[in-house]
Amino acid sequence: MNFFFVILGMFIVTYSSRLLPFITLDIQRIPAKMKRFLEAIPYAALGALIFPEVFYAVGENVVAALVGALTAFFAALITRNVVITIVVSVAATSLVIFLS
């Protein structure tokens, strides 16, 4: 039951990091520059979430991950649809895994 306290500790630090800016930030009082900073975060976050981890998304099989990522890129470019992009990308990745 000792591990429960580890989980509790992890809950506290995780929820705090999610909660504190969320409830303390007063949008009306944020300077314009800070606002631009906050608005740019999603794009920076997406870039950092994609690279370099996308190359290791399929374990050792970097080729399959690369094919999946490129497929996703073109599917997104053409369809602009998240669900279709995922389905096509997973299918392409699975195919490469299956063939290799």
Partner 1 sequence: MQKNEKVKDSMSSTAKSTQFKQGIYRGIPIFIGYFPIAIAFGLLARESGLTYLMTVLFSVMVYAGASQFIALNLLQIGAGGLEIVFTTLLVNLRHLLMSASLAAKLSKRTKIPILAFGITDETFSVGSLQPGKLQPPFFLGLSIISYTSWVCGTAFGYVVGTILPPVLQTGFGIALYAMFIALLVPSAVKSSRVALIALVAGGTNTLINHLGFPVVGLRLVFAILAGTLVGVYLLPGKEGKQ
Window 50 to 79, contacts with partner 1 (CB under 8 A): 50-54, 57-59, 61, 64-65, 68-69, 71-73, 75-77
Under the criterion CB under 8 A, does residue 37 sit at the interface with partner 1?
yes
Min separation Cβ 29 and partner 1, Å: 10
| C-alpha–C-alpha distance, residues 88 and 91, integer Å | 5
Under the criterion CB under 8 A, does residue 5 sit at the interface with partner 1?
yes
| C-alpha–C-alpha distance, residues 23 and 11, integer Å | 18
Torsion sign across C-alpha atoms 63, 69, 72, 74: negative
Under the criterion CB under 8 A, does residue 99 sit at the interface with partner 1?
no
